[in-house]
Structure 1
Amino acid sequence: METLAFLLAALAVVLAIPVPKWLHTARFRVRSPWVAMVLWQAIALAGGLAIIGAPIVYGLSPFGNSLPSAFVTLAEAVRYEDYAGLEERDVHPSHIFALCLGALLAAHLLLTLARTFYRVRSARRRHREMVNLLSTPLTDDGTQALPDRLTDTHVIEHEAPLAYCLPGRTNAGALTVLSRGLLDQLSPEELGAVIAHEKTHLRQRHHFLTLAFEAWYRALPWLPTTRYGREAVLELTEMLADDGALGEHSRTDLLRSIATTTPGGEDPEQQLSTGQGGIITGARLQRLIAPPEPLGPVARAAVLGLSAALLAVPTGLLLFS
């Protein structure tokens, strides 16, 4: 059990420092953003399991040769108040400390996720109320040609060229919000590219991904993997939304609309409540200007296999070792 704890600790260190630093700038993220997104999710889940599991496994090591049996033995000792047997099992203060540390880390991660979800839901509800008050549905009034997909698209009377999506509990309750300044500056084709981009965010539920990684960052902001993960997910969701828009509109129209639209800014609270990342990075622009060759089947399979292994290894070590 102690050997297993050290293996999990080593895995946690690798996933916390060198791996995210490499993946943050890896070239293949531009070639196949969805593959990179799967890998980031696997790193986050595996890293969380390893960080929590290492101290818990070490703390339970005197109680059994496997995690399930050790849990049962400890539960029975607590139930029957058999504290005299702790000395016989060679339980040291370091084991108690490690067990408490693992439990506190697990509780901290879960509570941070719940707190982030609650704050985002509250901010989103307030934002929706403001949009309902200050906006009007986008309709074709005959004064200009507009794209076909106008359902659940609202306009706010503001000069700045803004575009963002406001997620709902379901896709049917989501909104795409545009500013009057954006409508005045874009052609119908470019406007259609903007709407398609935002609706891709909604359809693929990108706000759940950004919420999870934001909670991960807020729980452990001192870890490189949480900082790099949050930045990477914001960039990757924008790339995925670009790909969704390119399925219906030209690359030129999308580039022009991106150049016109005001970015969402760096405020994480705003990005989470509106579902608007607005991240315009050099890598994102470069892949739109000069599209790279997508990852081949073998490379995709290798990365997806690695992602599956990252999830299977710590889970298997915890449950079956």
Structure 2
Amino acid sequence: MPVIAALLAYAALLGFAGDRVLTRASWASRHPRAALRAWHACAFTFLVTITATLVLTAHDLWEHAVVWLFHAGKPQVHAAYAGSWHIEGVADGAVLLLLLAATAVTALAAHRFLAVRRERDRARLITDALGSRGAGGLADVHILDDAEPTAFCVPGGRGRDRIVVSRGTVDLLTEEQLAAAVTHERGHLRLAHHRMILAAEVVTAAVGWSGALRGYAHQVRRLSEMAADDHAAAVHGSRTVASALLEMCTVGPPAEGSATLALSGPDPAERIRRLLAARPGQGRRLLPVLIGCATATVLVLPAVMVLGPAFAVADTAHCLEQCPR
């Protein structure tokens, strides 16, 4: 029971306090890639901790595994994890809840994945049918004959990725600004932001109704745009990226759940301000290292809580076998 209580408290800390702390963290916009890792670690550990809580509550399942893996005595294992706590039917309820939750999350993920794939296939079909390939530095870019300025990428993998700009964007931006916009979209594809966003949307849809991790999906989209901005700024300079984004702001951001990743994504005003305030080498400092250490600690703690008692009672079965009756 103490282990289960500790896991529940840790899950609540991550899902509620962790969500609020990361949402309000001022360092996140300065180090978006580190912040993304922190968000993913928080969400992943929250789900693992909830799962571990249900598995431990279904104590027979876990206790048999510990007895076999650690050669531990069954009474010692039961005392370490359940103590004297026992309520009839709780173990069976925990197994049922675990199965229902796994089924629901799998169905939700499959539904969202198929919807995103359909939207991307439609965007790719339109691009291939109506777009033309650029030249020179834009050889991998599809240009749509559309007067409205737009720039986005369509993830697909295995040669199915598309970077798309409209004729309106080509006419609106300078050559350097256009190159920065394209590099921004290449950054999205290179850093696999589409996978991060899909995972965040599924998790938020699954648990956000409870108040836990409700900022996860929005923050991942926001920080992904900042990380792509930094990717472009490393090549073309922060002011060039900021000026391109400022010009494209007249288009307005895409829908929050869009399957494509557009240059004029969420929070463009904040992104422009941070780009104009950026200093050379700002991202290469001690803070990202500290954030990485904290992220690793968040990931490791549930394993310590779950496996600690198992190591403490390891080989006690051997002791029981040798003790006189």
Q: What is the correspondence of 1:16-35 to structure 2 with a 5 Å cutoff?
A: 16-35=15-34
Distance in 1, matches of 2:110 and 2:192, equals 18
Match of 1:36 in 2: 35
Identify which of 112, 119, 127 aligns with 2:115: 119
Are residues 186 and 297 of structure 1, via their aligned partners in 2, closer, same or farther at CA, if it must alter by over 3 Å?
closer
Q: Secondary structure, in 3 states, of the residue corresponding to 1:226?
A: coil
Moved more, 49-58 or 297-306: 297-306
Distance in 1, matches of 2:86 and 2:30, equals 53
Superposed CA offset, 1:277-315 (max 9, x none): 711344322211212673675432221111112111223
Are residues 68 and 319 of structure 1, via their aligned partners in 2, closer, same or farther at CA, if it must alter by over 3 Å?
farther
Are residues 3 and 129 of structure 1, via their aligned partners in 2, closer, same or farther at CA, if it must alter by over 3 Å?
same
Distance in 2, matches of 1:178 and 1:247, equals 21
Distance in 1, matches of 2:197 and 2:130, equals 26
Identify which of 129, 144, 148 aligns with 1:133: 129
Identify which of 287, 301, 310 aligns with 1:299: 287
Letter paired with 1:203:
R
Q: How far is 1:111 from its partner?
A: 2.8
Q: How far is 1:183 from its partner?
A: 1.0
Distance in 2, matches of 1:286 and 1:59, equals 51
Identify which of 210, 216, 219 aligns with 1:232: 219
Superposed CA offset, 1:55-84 (max 9, x none): 231222xx3774723799xxxxxxxxxxxx
Compute the RMSD of aligned alpha carbons. 2.5
Match of 1:308 in 2: 296
Q: Is the 8 A contact 2:245 2:272 kept in 1?
A: no
Are residues 7 and 233 of structure 1, via their aligned partners in 2, closer, same or farther at CA, if it must alter by over 3 Å?
same
Letter paired with 1:258:
L
Q: What is the correspondence of 1:14-93 to structure 2 with a 5 Å cutoff?
A: 14-60=13-59, 63=60, 66=63, 68-69=65-66, 92-93=88-89
Match of 1:266 in 2: 255
Q: Secondary structure, in 3 states, of the residue corresponding to 1:173?
A: coil
Distance in 1, matches of 2:137 and 2:296, equals 37
TM-score when scaled to structure 2? 0.81
Q: What is the correspondence of 1:141-220 to structure 2 with a 5 Å cutoff?
A: 148-170=136-158, 172-220=159-207
Q: Secondary structure, in 3 states, of the residue corresponding to 2:58?
A: helix
TM-score when scaled to structure 1? 0.82
Q: Is the 8 A contact 1:128 1:166 kept in 2?
A: yes
Distance in 1, matches of 2:134 and 2:126, equals 16
Q: How far is 1:107 from its partner?
A: 2.7
Q: How far is 1:28 from its partner?
A: 0.9
Superposed CA offset, 1:81-108 (max 9, x none): xxxxxxxx95612232223212322332
Superposed CA offset, 1:176-208 (max 9, x none): 101111111111111111111111111111111
Are residues 103 and 91 of structure 1, via their aligned partners in 2, closer, same or farther at CA, if it must alter by over 3 Å?
same
Q: Is the 8 A contact 2:150 2:262 kept in 1?
A: no
Q: How far is 1:319 from its partner?
A: 4.7
Letter paired with 1:132:
D
Superposed CA offset, 1:132-172 (max 9, x none): 11211123xxxxxxxx42122111122221000011223x4
Q: Is the 8 A contact 1:163 1:194 kept in 2?
A: yes
Superposed CA offset, 1:28-58 (max 9, x none): 1122111111111100110011122212312
The unaligned stretches of length 5 or more in structure 2 are 70-84, 310-325
* Aligned length in residues: 290
Match of 2:79 in 1: none
Match of 1:9 in 2: 8
* Sequence identity percentage: 26
Match of 2:318 in 1: none
Match of 1:143 in 2: none
Distance in 2, matches of 1:319 and 1:49, equals 14
Q: Is the 8 A contact 2:33 2:223 kept in 1?
A: yes
Are residues 65 and 157 of structure 1, via their aligned partners in 2, closer, same or farther at CA, if it must alter by over 3 Å?
closer
Moved more, 289-298 or 159-168: 289-298
